[in-house]
Structure 1
């Protein structure tokens, strides 16, 4: 069993959990993820590691309540236990001294980009951070993110915080003003990562994205998380989750992300149903 040490409500749909998992905390690196299961009847869900404390033996997760399991998870409290907590999984980020780097977190992507930003800063890079969300209520960890950066920008779709616009707009502006950017890491919704990669591709700026593909076992056996990168089929769980953004088939990713939308909606409705009204029982 894995105890929830801390719960923090970041917004009505965003939750932060600190989980007691010393073996995972001892080995994990920036860019990796875990798979958890709430109970014996629960599904396995992958969540990227937002932070870790090796001395305390804890892992920090930040997630949005979008489906049945994340909604169920969001109702848990500090002191509750998770049945399974497997990791670290996936390949860690390639951390080296690139020069001037831009670290982009869009929406919940702010969480996984945070430890990568910290590691890139510790490696001696000049770090420019960009945090974006639909509105100011969905922004979080901006102070923590900013503390790891030499320069920091905030944007929101509706202009309620920072500059009005998208993370890709800020990226364009940074490139225009700086003249040279050596490396970009962008994490967030698929459309945001796609557009950021399209901005940097003509300029030949090395760009990596982290893919949150549909996943089952997380060890490369099921093939559910396959992605097309260049002319090759890769598995996000063992070959990723980070890939060259200029080679990822984002249109395929968008299509695959929609495959189980109807089933996901029915699961949410069944979980909230009191019985006798919708025929789910």
Structure 2
């Protein structure tokens, strides 16, 4: 069992939890994720690691209500415990690799965090800050009430630019418009990391391709099982089949086929759609990642 040592409401239907998970806390790195279950019959829920404390042996996750599984998890309180807390899973962020630190120091980095994407952006920015690199961060949300972690982000970022779609806080516009405004003001960036809803990441990559800024995206929104076995997070990257949970979740955004990924995500929600995908994708539909053995 994995005790909940802290629970905090961040925004409407969004909570933060610190989970006592010594082995995960000792091994995890920014960019990775965990799979949690509330109890024996609960569904497996992949969640990005928002923060970790190796001394306290805790891992921080951010949960938003999107279904029955997350509703049950959000109903738990401090002192309760999760049945399972598996990780760390996925590949760490390439920007947070110590062997590439000197090259990373030479780059001007901007992160664009859309909505819940703030959670996976924060540990990367924090890690860079701890290693002497201050990146800029654009935090975007539909409205002021859905913004969270602003103070925490300001403590570790070089500059934080907050924008809302409805103009209730900060820059009136979305992350793409804020980035374009910064470029127009004379800002220069060597790399962009965009994490948020799929449609947001798609339009960021369209803009950064025009601006000739290499861009990394995190495809964690399409994960279901989190182990490469269900095939739900199958996507095309540079014409090759990849699976977000084992090959990612981060990829070169300019190579990701977002239209196919979003269409596939919608189809996967129905039994008829899953059957159609299985027919269309053949041997690569399930297990095509080569990691789970389903392709043998």
| TM-score, normalising length: structure 1 | 0.89
Q: Does 1:72 align with 2:72?
A: yes
Q: Secondary structure at the match of 1:237?
A: helix
- Separation in 2 of the partners of 1:216 and 1:171? 31
Residue of structure 2 in register with 1:122 after alignment: 130
- Separation in 1 of the partners of 2:166 and 2:93? 32
Is this contact kept in 2: 1:226–1:234, CA < 8 A?
Answer: yes
Going by fraction, where is helix more abundant, 1 or 2?
2
Is this contact kept in 2: 1:36–1:86, CA < 8 A?
Answer: yes
Is this contact kept in 2: 1:126–1:150, CA < 8 A?
Answer: yes
Residue of structure 2 in register with 1:270 after alignment: none
- When residues 13 and 116 of structure 1 are mapped into structure 2, their CA distance, relative to the original with a 3 A threshold, is same
Residue of structure 1 in register with 2:176 after alignment: 168
Across the two proteins, how many residue pairs are aligned to each other? 263
Structure 1 gaps, min length 5: 264-281
- Separation in 1 of the partners of 2:26 and 2:55? 8
Residue of structure 2 in register with 1:186 after alignment: 194
Residue of structure 2 in register with 1:269 after alignment: none
Offset at 1:98?
4.3
Q: Secondary structure at the match of 1:115?
A: helix
Q: Does 1:233 align with 2:241?
A: yes
Is this contact kept in 1: 2:217–2:251, CA < 8 A?
Answer: yes
Deviations 1:127-168 (A, max 9, x none): 111111111110000011111122111011111111111011
| Matched ranges for 1:121-270 at <5 A | 121-259=129-267, 261=269
Structure 2 gaps, min length 5: 96-103, 272-296
- Separation in 2 of the partners of 1:262 and 1:240? 25
Offset at 1:192?
0.9
Is this contact kept in 1: 2:46–2:225, CA < 8 A?
Answer: no
- When residues 213 and 259 of structure 1 are mapped into structure 2, their CA distance, relative to the original with a 3 A threshold, is farther
- When residues 225 and 44 of structure 1 are mapped into structure 2, their CA distance, relative to the original with a 3 A threshold, is same
Offset at 1:97?
2.4
RMSD across aligned positions (CA)? 1.6
| Matched ranges for 1:92-111 at <5 A | 92-95=92-95, 96-111=104-119
Deviations 1:44-96 (A, max 9, x none): 11000000000000000112101111111111111111111100000000123
Deviations 1:163-197 (A, max 9, x none): 11101111111222234211111110111111111
Q: Secondary structure at the match of 1:178?
A: coil
| TM-score, normalising length: structure 2 | 0.85
Q: Does 1:35 align with 2:43?
A: no
Residue of structure 2 in register with 1:6 after alignment: 6
- Which aligned runs of 4 or more in structure 1 are off by greater than 6 angstroms? none
- When residues 151 and 216 of structure 1 are mapped into structure 2, their CA distance, relative to the original with a 3 A threshold, is closer
- Separation in 1 of the partners of 2:183 and 2:134? 14
Is this contact kept in 2: 1:100–1:125, CA < 8 A?
Answer: no
Is this contact kept in 1: 2:197–2:221, CA < 8 A?
Answer: no
Q: Secondary structure at the match of 1:227?
A: strand
- Separation in 1 of the partners of 2:187 and 2:224? 42
- Separation in 2 of the partners of 1:236 and 1:213? 9
